[in-house]
Amino acid sequence: MKTITIPTSLPCPSWCTRPAGHGFDQADVEYLTRAHTAAVTQLEIISVEGFSSHVTVGIMSVENAVDVDGPVADLGDPNVYLDADGDFTGVHARQIAAALLNAADVWDEATR
Ligand SMILES: [Zn+2]
């Protein structure tokens, strides 16, 4: 699948750590969509059996806009997200937990 980026002049929420003015990356019939993110941690975990797992933690809010320069149709508070698949050791679980705690701290700041 080809990734598209549609430039915009719309501002990001203050907590977003993506480059200012990052574009919309999806377009459907009704809206342009982009994801604002922060506190993103990506871990590659190799299990004792040698299997690789990718874990991503962060906070995210999806913005839907009617057109490239607005109006914004929907932009809610961010959520903490965890994208993980696999079996983990206690060491790995603590790495994931630390990333989640960091994301929770940033979420607290972003939703005050
Ligand atoms: Zn953003």
**Could you tell me if residue 2 is inside a domain?**
no
Name the residue range of residue 63's domain.
26-110
pLDDT beyond 90 at 49: no
Instruction: Work out how many domains the chain is built from and give that number.
Output: 1
**Could you tell me if residue 33 is inside a domain?**
yes
Over the stretch 68-109, which tens digit does the pLDDT of each residue have?
998 999 999 999 999 998 888 899 999 999 999 999 999 999
pLDDT beyond 80 at 2: no
How much is the average pLDDT of 18-33? 89
What counts of helices (H) and strands (E) characterise the chain? 1, 5
**Could you tell me if residue 21 is inside a domain?**
no
What is the 65 CA–ligand 1 centroid distance (Å)? Answer: 13
What is the 31 CA–ligand 1 centroid distance (Å)? Answer: 16
What is the 18 CA–ligand 1 centroid distance (Å)? Answer: 5
- Name the residue among 10, 110, 8 with its Cα closest to residue 60: 110
What is the 21 CA–ligand 1 centroid distance (Å)? Answer: 7
What is the 89 CA–ligand 1 centroid distance (Å)? Answer: 34
**Could you tell me if residue 12 is inside a domain?**
no
pLDDT beyond 60 at 1: no
**Could you tell me if residue 19 is inside a domain?**
no
